[in-house]
Amino acid sequence: MDFYDVVKTRFSVRAYEDRPVEREKLDRILEAARLAPSAKNLQECCYVVVTDREKREQLISAAAGQRFVGQAPVVIVCCSTGDKDSLMRCGHSRYTIDSGIAIEHLALAAAAEGLGSCWIGSFYPDQVREILNIPEDIEVVELLPIGYPSPEAQSVRGRKDIEEIVCYDTWSL
């Protein structure tokens, strides 16, 4: 699929078919995350790929009761081994920016494979850490359920016009 078609058609999927994701597709998606850029090329992102049904069910409560998290055949738990207090010169946390880049690589790669995903920021990191045996010094950044969208999955929502979000050379919005 053309890159711009992937960007245009990707949306947050909150309903999945009961159908496994092929290992080859999952490997390509994870490779896209591995290739994501990171500050100073430190590559501090790491992932727990959850396919076990029981563990996915446990992640529902850790994700504030969002049932579709357990419904997806794969949940990628994005983590960072980086220093959570390390800031970029711009003042933003390095691990959150690096993780965000990698997670969107995952989401776009999933869309290119005909799969859906949804960024999950509403979760309890300590519960995820306990369910998956993630050490305390590892930052749990995001959950990304991945799978085949079910027919009742919502479609792409409208977006603001480009003129509402872009200006050139000086602020004029």
pLDDT digits (tens, 9 = 90+) for 71-87: 999 999 999 998 888 88
Q: Are 110 and 117 in contact (CB under 8 A)?
A: yes
pLDDT of the residue at 144: 98
Give the pLDDT confidence score for residue 109 in this predicted structure: 97
Q: Identify the three-state secondary structure at position 47.
A: strand
Q: Is the pLDDT of residue 135 over 80?
A: yes
User: Percent of the chain at pLDDT above 90?
Assistant: 88
* pLDDT > 80? residue 157: no
Domain ranges of the chain: 3-151
Give the torsion sign (CA, 34, 40, 42, 44).
negative
DSSP classification of residue 76: E
Segment 38-45 shows an average pLDDT of: 92
Residue 121 has pLDDT above 90, yes or no: yes
d(CA 95, CA 119): 16
For helices 94-112 and 23-34, the axis angle rounded to 10 degrees is 150
DSSP string, 139-167: EEEEEEEEEPBPTTS--PPP---GGGT--
Q: Give the pLDDT confidence score for residue 110 in this predicted structure.
A: 97
What CATH superfamily classification does 3-151 receive?
A: NADH Oxidase (3.40.109.10)
Could you tell me which of 68, 47, 45, 53 has the C-alpha nearest to residue 123?
68
pLDDT of 156 reads 62
Q: Return the minimum-mean-pLDDT range out of 12-26, 123-137, 141-155.
A: 141-155
pLDDT tens digits, 12-27: 999 999 999 999 999 9
Percent of the chain with pLDDT over 70: 99
